[in-house]
Amino acid sequence: MGSLERSKKKVQLWKKAIVHFGLCFVMGFFTGFAPGGKASMFSSHVVASNKSQPVEMLHQQVASKPHASNVNRSLIAESPVPTPSSSKESEPAKFLEKEEESGPKLLPRRLAIIVTPISTEDPYQGVFLRRLANTIRLVPPPLLWIVVAGQSDSDEVSEILRKTGIMYRHLVIKENFTDPEAELDHQRNVALRHIEQHRLSGIVHFAGLSNVYDLGFFDELRQIEVFGTWPMALLSANKNKVTIEGPVCDSSQVIGWHLKKMNNETDKRPPIHISSFGFNSSILWDPERWGRPSSVQQTSQNSIKFVKQAALEDETELKGIPPEDCSKIMLWRLNLPVSKSPSYHLPTRSTDASRRKK
């Protein structure tokens, strides 16, 4: 009997559950088709009322404690944000930053273009070329050495230039000259035409084989903007005196010239020695940049004459170097006469006999 009653109770519970489930399903089914205007209004009202309460409470809290909020904001703004960086990595970075701040800014050096003509009648050209190469080798780069020589069967000049370790260009001319000075001027013009054709940008200086330099001269040479000039000491082989040629300066301003002859009144413009001035090479292919008409340079084949004339006419652009003391001698020139190669003859028996008789 007990088991039957228990089974009846279970059946009744299942029936009640099924009835409740059916009623809920029917109610949900019909409420799904009902319009939702009131429900949405009710829900929006509830949401709005729920949102307004905490906002009002926050406003009240902020109004009641303004000082505390300002303090918190200032603390947040002033407190540094810790970055996860190791001390080993930060120390080298700080050291490099200090070096960059303390160290001077390095400016690129200008190209120094050294032009050296070589006379074919100079018997000691190999000796002087090696000596000048040893000097130029000590000059910091960038530097370009343009060597112009006459055509010859000997390869001595080429071999010397290959062993110098200097960036050079060896130009060879085929013309023959009887006058050594005319040959040197022609070689200089060939070098200037080469610079103009290839548009080599730098400061040009004509260095003779017999020039002797102070190495600080090349640092001052690179400071030239347009034209620069400097005094030069001439040393003669058979004379115990030194002749000064070049400008007389007040600081870097040229106010006069050293003249060989004081009574030379015919020449209004004093001659400037080829080794006592330098210039910016861009004047050869872009003279209008420096206020010179380009037609003059195109019609003139003598580039040296054009550059000298431009340097003497533009007195405002002609600056003496060194700018602090233009009277400082940084270049010496050995004034050696250019002669043909000496001929060495062995004494013959007849000459020895004649000497013995005497």
Outline where the chain has alpha helix (H): 2-33, 37-64, 66-78, 87-102, 125-136, 156-162, 180-198, 216-221, 282-285, 294-299, 303-313, 349-357
The distance of Cα 192 from the centroid of its chain, to the nearest Å, equals: 23
Position 101 scores a pLDDT of: 59
User: Is position 271 within any domain?
Assistant: yes
In single-letter form, the type of residue at position 213 comes to: Y
Position 10 scores a pLDDT of: 74
Position 18 scores a pLDDT of: 87
Distance CA 72, CA 76 (A): 6
User: Is position 57 within any domain?
Assistant: no
Position 45 scores a pLDDT of: 43
Q: Which residue range is the domain that position 117 belongs to?
A: 112-335
User: Is position 15 within any domain?
Assistant: no
Contact call for residues 230 and 276 (beta carbons, < 8 A)? yes
User: Is position 330 within any domain?
Assistant: yes
Contact call for residues 321 and 229 (beta carbons, < 8 A)? yes
Position 269 scores a pLDDT of: 55
User: Is position 262 within any domain?
Assistant: yes
User: Is position 263 within any domain?
Assistant: yes
Position 3 scores a pLDDT of: 65
Position 49 scores a pLDDT of: 42
Distance CA 30, CA 23 (A): 11
Position 306 scores a pLDDT of: 87
Contact call for residues 316 and 202 (beta carbons, < 8 A)? no
Question: Phi and psi for 282 in degrees, rounded to 5?
Answer: -65, -15
User: Is position 163 within any domain?
Assistant: yes
Position 28 scores a pLDDT of: 81
Assign residue 267 the CATH number of its domain. 3.90.550.10
| CA atoms within 13 A of residue 179's CA, in its CB half-sphere | 4
Contact call for residues 229 and 311 (beta carbons, < 8 A)? yes
Q: Give the chain's residues under pLDDT 70.
A: 1-4, 34-106, 260-270, 294-301, 337-358
Task: Count how many domains the chain has.
Answer: 1
- To the question of pTM greater than 0.85 for the whole model, the response is no
